[in-house]
Amino acid sequence: MRSEHGDVTIKIPRDRKGEFEPQVVKKYQKDLGSIEHQIITLYAKGMSNREIEDFIKNMYGAEVSPSLISHITDRILPEIREWQNRPLKRLYAMVFMDAIHYHVRKEGSVVNKAVYIAIGIDMSGCKDVLGLYIGEAETSKFWLSVMNEIKNRGTEDILICSVDGLNGFSQAITAVYPQTIVQRCIVHQIRNSTRYVSYKDIREFKKDLKSIYQAATLELAEHNLDKVEEKWKDKYPSCIKSWRENWAELSAYFVYPQAIRKVIYTTNSIENFNRQLRKVTKTKSSYPSDDALLKSLYLAILDITKKWTGTPHNWMSIANQLMIYFEGRIVNDDLIV
């Protein structure tokens, strides 16, 4: 049989009177592409093997076993490996990194797995998913291995990284890319620092924090941080301490103009991407294996990234300013689409 992933050898049942009528692969049929394409498309939409089995039966009157569906979707694994190892751009202007968590069955039990995702924006403003890696619970040690793999695939430099507040994350980045500016996500910081604030104070507390991260200059932001500390330090000392301890990475974006600040001060772009992945995977409480999870996410990524045709707002101005701020690190080849 011919398929879009190569030739497939099948065993054809025979009966003495020749009355057997195959359902999935009709007699004399040489091409399996149509049914295979349907199965992969349905799998990409988040349907389970059982759901696909029912759909094919109701739609085409054909019996397709879950094992056959798994066998067909397994044919994209070499494509995934190739995608995972493809060469990357020499330089990325910005990279956003985050992890999303799923349940995967392992040795008779269900364990929590972290899927590490990195999205880069190159100097032409084009956005791309740099990698997708499955590991145990999110750790800075695993992020270090991700950074090394990105470098091994050809990325020599990253100008700015936007990340959440995981301990040791920035050290993992700068260990591989020592010149990279690390911007800690302001939205994550607000969530973490207001987690234990009383509901009676939460609105006022958030308003005061807003005066810090929306300040026009670094000097004004530091002045407002002093005021917020003076006002709330006795009632919520741990919240203020968190801002003080992480201030260097929280305030990194103040160096740049508003156009660049809006892009890097939060990891919202990758969180929006993760939400789109969850729409596809939300019907599955757990996955039977890492490969099953990888197949589902990869197909969803192909579907999501088809719509990535534009660039961030006012990108030409942003790129021109980055060339000034990071003079000597950007070459003409980095600007080629």
Structure confidence at residue 234 (pLDDT) = 92
Domain co-membership, 102 together with 73: no
- Among 34, 53, 82, where does a domain finish? 82
Residue range 267-278: mean pLDDT, rounded: 89
Structure confidence at residue 125 (pLDDT) = 93
Would 293 be classed as within a structural domain?
yes
Please report which residue ranges of 4-48 form alpha helices under DSSP H.
33-44
Residue 25 and residue 196: Cα distance in Å, rounded?
61
Strands 91-106 vs 109-121: parallel, antiparallel or unpaired: antiparallel
- Among 62, 82, 102, where does a domain finish? 82
Residue range 127-140: mean pLDDT, rounded: 91
Structure confidence at residue 288 (pLDDT) = 87
Which of 143, 152, 147 lies closest to 177 in space, CA to CA? 147
Structure confidence at residue 173 (pLDDT) = 96
Domain co-membership, 100 together with 156: yes
Residue 234 and residue 230: Cα distance in Å, rounded?
8
Residue range 114-120: mean pLDDT, rounded: 94
Would 271 be classed as within a structural domain?
no
Domain co-membership, 18 together with 155: no
Give the chain's radius of gyration (CA, Å): 25
Domain co-membership, 159 together with 294: yes
Number of domains present in the structure of the chain: 3
Would 172 be classed as within a structural domain?
yes
Residue range 276-301: mean pLDDT, rounded: 88
Which of 332, 247, 226, 272 lies closest to 119 in space, CA to CA? 272
pLDDT band at 268 (very low <50, low <70, confident <90, very high): confident
Is 178's pLDDT higher than 90? yes
Is 300's pLDDT higher than 70? yes
66 token code pair: 């879950």
Is 230's pLDDT higher than 70? yes
Structure confidence at residue 34 (pLDDT) = 63
Would 337 be classed as within a structural domain?
no
Structure confidence at residue 177 (pLDDT) = 97
Would 273 be classed as within a structural domain?
no
- Among 49, 82, 115, where does a domain finish? 82
**174 contact partners, CB below 8 Å, separation of at least 6:** 180, 182
Domain co-membership, 29 together with 76: yes
Contact in structure between 104 and 117 (CB atoms under 8 Å): no
pLDDT band at 13 (very low <50, low <70, confident <90, very high): confident
Residue range 184-200: mean pLDDT, rounded: 91
**293 contact partners, CB below 8 Å, separation of at least 6:** 102, 104, 113, 115, 134, 287
Structure confidence at residue 32 (pLDDT) = 54
Domain co-membership, 152 together with 298: yes
Structure confidence at residue 66 (pLDDT) = 78
Mean pLDDT of the chain: 88
pLDDT band at 95 (very low <50, low <70, confident <90, very high): very high
Domain co-membership, 164 together with 288: yes
Which of 301, 291, 297, 283 lies closest to 50 in space, CA to CA? 283
Residue 65 and residue 290: Cα distance in Å, rounded?
21
pLDDT band at 16 (very low <50, low <70, confident <90, very high): confident
In Å, how far from its chain's centre is CA 266? 14
Q: What is the DSSP letter of 313?
A: T
Structure confidence at residue 44 (pLDDT) = 78
Is 31's pLDDT higher than 70? no
Would 8 be classed as within a structural domain?
yes
Residue with the larger pLDDT of the pair 337 and 108:
108
Is 80's pLDDT higher than 60? yes
Strands 6-7 vs 91-106: parallel, antiparallel or unpaired: unpaired
Residue range 177-201: mean pLDDT, rounded: 93
- Would you give the end-to-end CA distance of the chain in angstroms? 39
Would 12 be classed as within a structural domain?
yes
For every residue of 49-83, DSSP letters joined together read HHHHHHHHHHHH-----HHHHHHHHGGGHHHHHHH
Residue range 11-23: mean pLDDT, rounded: 73
Domain co-membership, 27 together with 91: no
Angle of helix 33-44 versus helix 49-60 axis, rounded to 10: 130
Contact in structure between 62 and 73 (CB atoms under 8 Å): no
Domain co-membership, 112 together with 223: no
Strand partners of residue 287: 104
Residue with the larger pLDDT of the pair 281 and 246:
246
Which of 32, 129, 108 lies closest to 71 in space, CA to CA? 32
Cβ count near 321 (within 10 Å): 14
Would 45 be classed as within a structural domain?
yes
- What own/partner pairs with CB < 8 Å and gap ≥ 24 does 281-288 have? 281/46, 281/102, 282/46, 283/46, 283/47, 283/48, 284/46, 284/48, 285/103, 286/102, 286/103, 286/104, 286/105, 286/110, 287/102, 287/103, 287/104, 287/105, 288/104, 288/105
Q: Is 168 left (phi over 0), alpha (psi -120 to 50) or beta?
A: left
Structure confidence at residue 208 (pLDDT) = 95
Q: What is the pLDDT of residues 146-170, one digit of tens each?
A: 999 999 999 999 999 999 888 889 9
High-pLDDT (> 90) share of the chain, %: 56
Domain co-membership, 287 together with 148: yes
Q: Domain residues for 71?
A: 2-82
Which of 119, 115, 145, 112 lies closest to 133 in space, CA to CA? 115
Is 223's pLDDT higher than 60? yes
Domain co-membership, 168 together with 97: yes
Domain co-membership, 91 together with 172: yes
